[in-house]
Amino acid sequence: MNEPRRALISVYDKAGVVELAAGLVELGWELIASAGSARLIAAAGLPVADAADYTGSPPMLGHRVVTLHPRIHGGILADRDDPAHRADLEANGIDPIDLVVVNLYPFGASPGIETIDIGGPTMVRAAAKNHAHVAVVVDPADYRPVLHELRSEADLAASTRLRLARKAFAHSAAYEAAIADWFDARDESGVRGRELSDEPAPDADDGSGLHSGGVPVGAGSDAGDESVGAGLPPVIRLDLERAEVLRYGENPHQQGARYRVRGTAGFFDGVVQRGGPVPSYLNLMDAAAAWRLAHDLGDRPAAVIVKHANPCGAAFADDLSTAYSRAFDCDPRSAFGGVVAVNTVIDEATAAAMAAAAQADVVIAPGYASGVIERLAARRANTRLLEVPRAGSGGVGWGLALRTLDSPGDFLVQSRRGHQADPADWQVVTARQPTPAERADSVFAWRVCAHTSSNAVVLARDGTAWGIGAGQQNRVEAGRIAAAKAAGRAAGGACASDGFYPFADGIAAAAEAGAAVVVQPGGSVNDAEVIAAADEHNIAMLFTGERQFRH
């Protein structure tokens, strides 16, 4: 390019900014910087123009106005493809600015009127808006890749500018949310709920700052307020960052991830995994529920087993081994594949009891005695062994788990279904083929079941769900509830199960209810036994290949 390119730098977090400035100068860029950044860059021996000198307007109003100037914002906002914009630049002696490097003061660290930045967010938003022509960088982690691309490609790709613009608006939104939360915590008489300072932050560098702290929810009304909705904020603002990619979402065909409030450490950030595969969405949801209950039972050794978000066993005793055994004996059938939480270190006796019992998907404990992890891992390779160093942690800062959804129009990212989701691709695994009417009943029952809380079993015939068993810790009991509600009206129709049948007893229950066809995901290690049971009862069976748990 014939005309030199220009970068405007105004940062609170100065990590790496000198290296970035040096790289830009090496590439022939001109630098403009606000006061603090300009001093740092100049001290490194690099040519830089102070923003006040560049605009010809000295700082005023106690530095409230420095970069709010047409020469700055005209250079950032100009559409280079618009002849009228180019004419305005030429008529007013304004040079285009091609790169804006700004990050904002962490308002949450010292909130107050004088730390509300105006110039910084204005530059960030202006550059992000005009990302077709201007790149904006708000994160020091992007300095190196931006320099690399400029060196290798001589310019930044449109996709890079778009990515940086999205990040900039998220940065600005988090900053504005922190300010709004500060106002939420105040009332007409002053400060409410916590002490907030109106003192200016040190060396705010022209009001540029990085919102790196967490964003609390709006304060709302005090809990003691007698008005309607007391204690519930009218607005909740969340700035979340992805902390962990999970094995899958609620079901294997969905994606899942754990998020935390930006800049904070949630409960699961302190959890150490000692064995087993990566947790899934449901593993974390059930682990949180189990942990909360285990620590709500008091100081005596306690054990809790959770299945499908509900306890299926809970006990305390004088020793943990006894507490676990009692909790397991509450409902051994449901304990299979559940989540175990205890409130004290797992000793050898408890580990022996766990190893002899049904496999748990997750064990979460404040610690493990010597040799226990190895014993449990050897016996239960698929059990996730989680350790929580902060024993007794309550339900504050749990974070948020998200998973992709299936229905068009849902507010989360839609999952791309696998080919097995199409009923035409369902696999007949029994000797008897379903009739067309039975297939139709199967599709209907499956759709109802997919919208029913797990464990779920649905008995349907002729477009009517006659029996729905929902929210049970095991599907045999879900089937019994469905059969009792159906009272024979679904005989000759379909039985749908949202998860695979792990044992043949579920098929026997479906046959007893009069089902002519069973539709289920399949995929159990006992599929052969389950199929044989269906053949024995002359029931047709369809495998969908897709689980549909719903919590």
- The model's pLDDT over 481-539, given as tens digits with 9 standing for 90+, comes to 889 888 898 999 999 998 888 888 889 989 989 999 999 989 888 899 999 999 999 99
Task: Please answer whether residues 15 and 43 qualify as being in contact, where contact means their C-beta atoms are separated by less than 8 angstroms.
Answer: no
Return the pLDDT at 398.
Answer: 57
Going from the C-alpha of 280 to that of each of 254, 361, 415, the distances in angstroms are 10, 10, 16
The top-scoring range by mean pLDDT among 217-226, 291-300, 410-419 is: 291-300
- Check residue 340 and give its pLDDT: 94
Token pair for 260: 């935390």
Task: Read off the pLDDT of each residue in 128-146 and give the average, rounded to a whole number.
Answer: 93
Say if CB 196 and CB 188 are below 8 A apart: no
Task: Determine the Cα–Cα distance for residues 428 and 424; give it in Å rounded to an integer.
Answer: 11
Residues 6+ apart with CB under 8 A from 82: none
In 185-319, alpha helices (H) = 281-294
Quote the mean pLDDT of the chain: 81
Chain centre distance of CA 344: 29
**Stretch 374-379: mean pLDDT:** 84
The 3-state DSSP class for residue 458 equals strand
Which of 218-222, 242-246, 395-399, 414-418 has the largest mean confidence? 242-246
The confidence band for 342, taking pLDDT boundaries of 50, 70 and 90, is very high
Question: What letter does residue 442 receive in the DSSP assignment?
Answer: H
pLDDT of 30-87, one tens digit each? 999 988 888 999 999 999 998 888 888 888 887 788 788 888 899 999 998 889 998 9
Burial 65-79 (b: 16+ CB within 10 A, else e): bbbbbebbbbbbbbe
Instruction: Return the structure tokens found at 265.
Output: 């450490």
Residue positions annotated with a catalytic role: 129, 308
Q: Residue 386 in contact with residue 365, Cβ under 8 Å?
A: yes
Mean pLDDT of 292-313: 83
- Given a cut of 50, whether residue 91 has pLDDT beyond it is yes
Choose between 292 and 348: higher pLDDT. Answer: 348
Radius of gyration of the chain from its Cα atoms, rounded to whole angstroms: 31
Spatial CA neighbour of 259 closest among 276, 273, 275, 242: 242
Higher-confidence position of 259 and 491: 491
Residue 81 buriedness (CB in 10 A; 0-12 / 13-18 / 19+): exposed
Per-residue model confidence as pLDDT tens digits over 96-129: 999 999 988 777 777 888 878 888 899 999 999 9
What is the token pair recorded at 92?
A: 């007013």
In this structure, the dihedral spanned by the alpha carbons of residues 132, 137, 143 and 147, taken in order and rounded to 10 degrees, is 20
Q: State the pLDDT at residue 263.
A: 67
Residue 551 has pLDDT above 90, yes or no: no
The DSSP output letter for 396 is: S
**Which is more confident, 259 or 108?**
259
Q: Would you state the pLDDT for residue 404?
A: 57
Per DSSP, 433 falls in state P
- Predicted confidence at residue 188, as pLDDT, reads 45
pLDDT at 219 over 70: no
Kindly report the pTM of this predicted structure.
0.55
Q: Tokens 């496999």 — which residue? A: 359
Q: Averaged over 254-275, what is the pLDDT?
A: 81
pLDDT (0 to 100) of residue 546: 84
- Checking if the pLDDT of 205 tops 50, the result is no
Q: Which residue has the higher pLDDT, 55 or 189?
A: 55
Q: Where is average pLDDT lowest: 167-181, 405-419, 483-497?
A: 405-419
> Domains, the chain, ranges and CATH?
6-181 (3.40.50.1380), 240-387 (3.40.140.20), 420-543 (3.40.140.20)
What is the distance between the alpha carbons of residues 311 and 326, in angstroms, rounded to a whole number?
13
- 157, with CB counted inside 10 A (0-12, 13-18, 19+), is exposed
What is the distance between the alpha carbons of residues 308 and 359, in angstroms, rounded to a whole number? 15
Least confident of 153-162, 164-173, 473-482, 493-502: 473-482
What is the residue whose two structure tokens read 């949630």? Answer: 266
What is the percentage of the chain residues whose pLDDT exceeds 70? Answer: 84
